[in-house]
């Protein structure tokens, strides 16, 4: 069974504390606006050319070589541009330390990646970091996390350093520190390391697994050579990079029998790794690993306002993953022939594809604050409005909305369990456009189970031919596992499920009712009646026609508790006219339900 490489890495890191070392390149500091060492050298050449009133053409490197007859050298450039240590420090700070304006923009400060690494080091998962970066952002993040790192940036520093086995946190800066003139930048400087640094590097590569991020492997000959000569493969290598990596990286990955992890950036990668490892620490039972991690991260992100963006990205990424799959070749709508068996397989596959997303939706709806509602709504709208092909087998075209129906049910059931009727109201009233050739409207008026699978087609579900509400019954059964945590006990789940489906039918009736017809029937002494979707609450209570008049009975104009919550969420303010129409809609829908279920036998 294939497993996501990030999940495999998280599991390995969590179960093997302090076994992995990190190898970080300039890509880790890229989002902070920190230049690479070579970019600093090129800019210093431009400054030197400017001092000499020349243009560094055709390239800064070629200009320097032609002008001075040697390769660009970091130390020589600094000596040419500055006269004192104070001048040198001030010049370099402009590259690596933020101005007030840069600080206000979050530049040249520890990034999400730096802080995620620092948190993992604080928790003891990493102890050693190899880095080719000159900046001090990781050190700053580690100190902010409450640790004092041992920093080794020169061969001399190795002699007095605390042994790796005893140090809580060691950063080995292979190319040096930006305030030390002994930096390594050029191909010549990077061809070899001093013997003490080589020996320390050999020890790390021999004794630790390796997680590489932000390093291309293109120019650092000495570091490549160290990886190539490492004799042992005690622990694996993971290489995090974009879709394609260069020939050097590919060769090193193959040499170490490493695993490639495709990432969009260092910030997202290390944040995901941190959250996954922390989730695994407390989640040790047998549920699917990826689902456990996703739910734990969802709960974390809705717990604090500062994770609002992370919550948005997490839920949207999983929504897009589901859409990509359900619109893919696994679910064709053209060139297929209908059969009950194919219908059953499609539904089961949709349910499997949505499992992680639905568990995340349940956690989101139960724990979210109002500031998170827009994310939940946008994901639901995305599922409902997913572009559908204009031709093909209609039953399977409509069935592509099944994930949206699952998401709708799970979200509303969990929201009701958390007493968040305001979220249910927002969901029902969200404007959507399920069909491109029709106008948009409120979700509750345009989308329900019969828009996914018509009542007649539901009878084709194997084993459900004699059921009154086949699809509703299926939803009731398949959604139970992911709501155990929020609706405790089978009776609570059944009661909430019935109440939600009744509420959805009632609000649908209210939003689509023909008020002239209903009011005329009322005036003429006839029972007003109006359509709304009926779920399995109908047959479950068909032997008790008084069910609608027990918990939901209105006495002396006083609404029962449940209807009171609905009125507060859906019909705010004291508007006698709005209340009267709501009560008329309830009477009309109740009459419709009684008339339908009385014929079920």
Residue 487 has pLDDT above 70, yes or no: yes
Residue 129 has pLDDT above 50, yes or no: yes
Q: Please give the angle made by the CA atoms of 185, 260 and 12, to the nearest 5 degrees.
A: 105
Per-residue pLDDT reduced to its tens digit, 548-575: 545 566 666 666 677 777 777 777 666 7
Q: How far is residue 407's CA from residue 186's CA, in Å, rounded to a whole number?
A: 55
H/E stretch holding 431 reads strand 431-432
* Rounded percentage of the chain residues whose pLDDT exceeds 90: 38
- The 10 Å CB-count burial string (b at 16+, else e) for 246-274 is eeebeebbeebebbbbebebbbbbbbbbb
Contacts of 344 (CB under 8 A, 6+ apart): 461, 462
- CATH class for domain 5-33+109-271? alpha beta
> What is the per-residue pLDDT for 138?
94
> What is the per-residue pLDDT for 303?
84
Helix/strand/coil for 213: strand
Q: What integer best gives the mean pLDDT of the chain?
A: 85
Give the bridge partners for 259, in sequence order.
238
Closest CA to 249 of 217, 209, 220: 217
Q: Write the DSSP string, 110-121.
A: --HHHHHHHHHH
> What is the per-residue pLDDT for 116?
92
Residue 522, Cβ neighbours under 10 Å: how many? 14
- CA 129: distance to chain centroid? 27
Q: How far is residue 544's CA from residue 539's CA, in Å, rounded to a whole number?
A: 10
Residue 286 has pLDDT above 60, yes or no: no
Q: How far is residue 63's CA from residue 73's CA, in Å, rounded to a whole number?
A: 13
Per-residue pLDDT reduced to its tens digit, 183-209: 665 667 778 888 999 999 999 999 999
Domain residues of the chain, as ranges?
5-33+109-271, 37-104, 288-488, 499-601
Six token digits for residue 246: 């260069």
Confidence of residue 285 (pLDDT cuts 50, 70, 90): very low
Q: How far is residue 20's CA from residue 23's CA, in Å, rounded to a whole number?
A: 10
Residue 501 has pLDDT above 90, yes or no: yes
Closest CA to 348 of 335, 327, 336, 330: 330
More confident: 406 or 523: 406
- CA 350: distance to chain centroid? 20
């Amino acid at each position: 069974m294939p497993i996501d490489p990030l999940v495999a890495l998280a599991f390995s890191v969590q179960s093997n504390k302090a076994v992995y070392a990190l190898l970080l390149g300039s890509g880790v500091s890229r989002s902070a606006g920190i230049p690479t060492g070579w970019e600093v050298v090129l800019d210093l050449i431009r400054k030197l050319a400017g001092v000499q009133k020349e243009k560094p053409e055709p390239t800064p490197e070629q200009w320097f070589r032609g002008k001075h007859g040697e390769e660009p050298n970091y130390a020589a450039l600094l000596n040419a541009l500055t006269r004192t240590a104070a001048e040198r420090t001030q010049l370099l700070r402009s590259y690596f330390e933020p101005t007030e304006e840069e600080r206000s923009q979050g530049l040249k400060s520890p990034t999400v990646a730096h802080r995620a690494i620092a948190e993992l080091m604080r928790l003891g998962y990493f102890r050693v970091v190899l880095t080719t970066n000159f900046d001090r952002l990781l050190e700053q993040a580690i100190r902010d996390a409450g640790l004092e790192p041992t920093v080794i940036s020169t061969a001399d520093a190795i002699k007095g350093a605390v042994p790796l086995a005893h140090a809580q946190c060691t950063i080995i800066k292979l190319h040096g520190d930006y305030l030390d003139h002994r930096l390594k930048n050029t191909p010549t400087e990077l061809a070899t390391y001093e013997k003490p640094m080589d020996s320390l590097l050999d020890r790390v590569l021999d004794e630790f697994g390796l997680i590489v991020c932000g390093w291309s492997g293109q120019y650092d000959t000495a570091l490549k050579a160290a990886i190539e000569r490492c004799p042992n493969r005690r622990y694996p290598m993971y290489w995090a990079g974009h879709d394609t990596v260069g020939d050097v990286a590919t060769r090193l990955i193959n040499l170490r029998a490493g695993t490639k992890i495709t990432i969009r950036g260092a910030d997202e990668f290390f944040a995901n790794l941190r959250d996954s490892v922390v989730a695994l620490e407390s989640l040790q039972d047998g549920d699917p690993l990826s689902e456990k991690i996703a739910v734990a991260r969802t709960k974390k992100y809705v717990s604090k306002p500062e994770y609002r963006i992370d919550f948005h990205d997490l839920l949207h990424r999983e929504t897009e993953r589901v859409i990509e799959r359900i619109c893919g070749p696994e679910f064709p709508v053209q060139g297929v022939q209908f059969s009950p068996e194919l219908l059953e397989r499609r539904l089961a596959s949709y349910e499997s594809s949505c499992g992680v997303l639905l568990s995340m939706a349940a956690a989101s709806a139960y724990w979210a604050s109002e500031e998170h509602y827009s994310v939940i709504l946008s994901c639901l709208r995305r599922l409902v409005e997913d572009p559908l092909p204009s031709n093909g087998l209609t039953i399977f075209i409509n069935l592509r909305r099944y994930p949206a129906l699952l998401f709708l049910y799970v979200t509303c059931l969990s929201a009701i369990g958390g007493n968040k009727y305001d979220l249910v109201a927002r969901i029902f009233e969200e404007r959507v456009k399920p069909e491109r050739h029709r106008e948009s409207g409120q979700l509750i008026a345009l989308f329900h189970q019969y828009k996914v699978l018509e009542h007649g087609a539901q009878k084709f579900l194997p084993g459900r031919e004699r059921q009154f509400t086949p699809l509703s019954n299926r939803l009731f059964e398949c959604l139970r596992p992911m709501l155990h945590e929020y609706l405790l006990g089978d009776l609570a789940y059944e009661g909430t499920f019935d109440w939600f489906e009744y509420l959805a039918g009632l609000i649908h009736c209210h939003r689509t009712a023909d008020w002239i017809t209903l009011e005329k029937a009322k005036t003429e002494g006839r029972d007003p009646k109006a359509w709304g979707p009926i779920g399995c609450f109908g047959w479950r209570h068909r032997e008790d026609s008084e069910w609608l008049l027990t918990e939901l009975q209105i006495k002396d104009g006083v609404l029962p508790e449940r209807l009171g919550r609905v009125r507060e969420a859906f019909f705010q303010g004291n508007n006698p006219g709005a209340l009267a129409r709501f009560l008329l809609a309830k009477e009309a829908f109740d009459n419709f339900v009684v008339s339908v279920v009385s014929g079920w036998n």
